[in-house]
Structure 1
Amino acid sequence: MSIAREEAALTPRQQTILDELGRRGFLSTADLAGTFDVSDMTVRRDTRALSKLGLVKVVHGGVSAIEGHGQNADFAARVREDADAKQRVAKACVDLVSERDAIILDAGTTTYQIAQELPAGFMGTIITHSAPAIQRCLQLTSARTICLGGELLLDSQAFNGPMTVNAVQGLRAKTAFIGVSGIHDEGFYIERDVERATKLALMGSAEQVVVVATHQKMLRYALARLASFDAVDILVTDAPPPREVAAALSASNVRLIVAD
């Protein structure tokens, strides 16, 4: 199904504030005034307007994202873990996307960061089963969003199971961005086998598969083996991988992108 939202038109400055809040969580009035070269009063008018729309929370000294918006406490805490590395990985992934591409976003905090980094003017299609990513898509008013239903797993904040697999079948995207819990010289791993069928269906619906993982996932096993390296086209990470992983990637012709 498709999502569309009609809302009061935001000015470019207000949209920029909203986008940056999605990445940082809090912005001071003074910093915003300096960024836009306007007065504090002008910034406050913008943030009050956003607050009236229910998009932000005005606080002492600035403005903050609405806490828990589209996320439970566990997911929000994991978003903050290794946040800089995830942001670098996400930005490198966005560089792989053209403005009208159809993309698939898997569940997870790094793939969620990709949704956060997509430009406000993105005009492509986003296919996702991630509830936080869907919430971000409400702000991407030029994009088309296709939501994959199923059973909601509260900890991963994503829909999963046979209904999700059935929903993605018949769809086709240029790129699928897939999250994993571990990478070893034998392949990619995830925490729960229950998510394996959904991830494989997402991978099978894209022309190219991009696995996203910070360096913390390297040389780490998890409960379930998702796939071998030859099932993936690109790995995007934030630091050069260990020698054995790099050798296995090269042997399987997986392109390695190390984000700056």
Structure 2
Amino acid sequence: MSQDKNRRGPSQRRRELSDHVLAEGSVSASDLAERFGVSLMTIYRDIDELEREGILRKFRGGVTVQPSGVFESNVAFRKKTMRAEKEAVAAKAAALVEPGMSVMVDDSTTALELARLLPGVEPLTVVTNFLEVLNLLSDERGLHLMALGGDYDRLHDSFLGVPCVEAVEALRVDLCFVSTSSVYGNHAYHQEQRIVAVKRAMLKAADRSVLMIDHSKLGRTALHRLAPLSTFDLVVIDDRTPPDVLRSLDESGVPYEIAPTGA
């Protein structure tokens, strides 16, 4: 067993290391060294490389894929979290979609849950930069699918950058659905400036925009301000949202709807 571990090349070990941290959420460096049969120095070199690639982030004595104010978890981890809440929020938001509309969805995992419901509302034009949504809907004959190009980012499984922003700016859609990683006070935030640029362009390209968030995003900080909540025509949140947040939305005049999770 240990001989097999030692025969792993650095690339294979790093892939297995990232998969293990993805499954666990957070792991100490000493546990990783023991698991992979290598020295702490080797593990820290692996961690440094994976952090440089944006796959995970270091903390004192270990590594994690959990988000922070400057680090967004990769799409594989985000797909695993808050599934019931995201499904509930997506179902509530999908009720706004009517046959014949043009709909733009971002590269959030909440938007992915929404996309799963769109084949039931045909005919429909769906515009997205999220490769997983494109693959999900590519065989749906009742949907006109439009891909937003740009620089492919494998951690988000989406297309970003100036070409993507310009592609968005050339369009006008009926509805835009976005999510984000943080809502603090009366503003939505995100850790990455390039993601913010695409989301802002999407909001400007839509007649109506909807922010879909689950309660885990509330009170969390992130580096870049996306937009005031008042920018959105509707905020959809799950029923585990604290009452004080709902009061704040009421006082700010932000329109919102609560999605029941059935929990």
Common fold by TM > 0.5: yes
Distance 1:252 1:103 in 2: 27
Deviations 1:94-144 (A, max 9, x none): 111002211110111111111112234521100100000111111322110
Instruction: Decide whether the 8 Å contact of 1:121 with 1:140 is kept in 2.
Output: no
Instruction: Verify the 8 A CA contact 1:125 1:146 in the aligned structure 2.
Output: yes
Question: Displacement of 1:240 after TM fit?
Answer: 5.2
RMSD: 1.8
Q: Matched residues in 2 for 1:146 and 1:253: separation? A: 34
Deviation at 1:191, TM superposition (A): 1.7
Letter in 2 for 1:80: K
Partner of 1:111: 111
Larger CA Rg, structure 1 vs 2: 2
The CA deviation string for residues 54-85 of structure 1, in whole angstroms up to 9 with x for no partner, is xxxxxxxxxxxxxxxxxxxx533421211111
Is residue 219–residue 242 contact of structure 1 (8 Å, CA) maintained in 2? no
Identify which range, 134-143 or 115-124, moves more after superposition: 115-124
Q: What whole-Å deviation, never above 9, does each CA across 1:167-225 have from its counterpart, x for those lacking one? A: 11131111110110011213101121121111100000001110011111111111211
Whether the aligned pair in 1 keeps the contact of 2:98 and 2:121 (CA below 8 Å) is: no
The residue aligned with 2:128 is 128
Q: Does 1:254 align with 2:254?
A: yes
The one-letter code sitting in structure 2 at the alignment partner of 1:230 is: S
1:102 counterpart residue number: 102
Letter in 1 for 2:154: L
Task: Name the count of aligned residue pairs.
Answer: 188
Task: Provide TM-score, normalisation by structure 1.
Answer: 0.68
What is the alpha-carbon distance in structure 1 between the residues aligned to residue 251 and residue 146 of structure 2?
Answer: 35
Call closer, same or farther: CA 1:195–1:222 in 2, change over 3 Å.
same
Q: Within the alignment, does 1:147 sit opposite 2:136 as a pair? A: no
Give ranges in structure 2 of 5+ residues lacking alignment. 1-73
Kindly indicate whether the alpha-carbon contact (under 8 Å) linking 1:120 and 1:140 is maintained by their aligned counterparts in 2: no
- AA of the residue aligned to 1:164: C
Given that 1:175 and 1:206 are in contact with CA atoms closer than 8 Å, whether structure 2 keeps it comes out as yes
Moved over 6 A (4+): none
Which residue in the other structure is 1:161 paired with?
Answer: 161
Where does residue 63 of structure 1 map in the other structure? none
Partner in structure 2 of residue 235 of structure 1: 235
Unaligned runs of 5+ in 1: 1-73
Q: Which residue of 1 aligns with 2:88?
A: 88
Q: Residues 254 and 240 from structure 1, CA distance in 2 versus in 1: closer, same or farther, beyond 3 angstroms?
A: farther
**SS of 1:149's equivalent?**
coil
What letter is aligned with 1:149?
G
Percent of aligned pairs with the same residue? 27
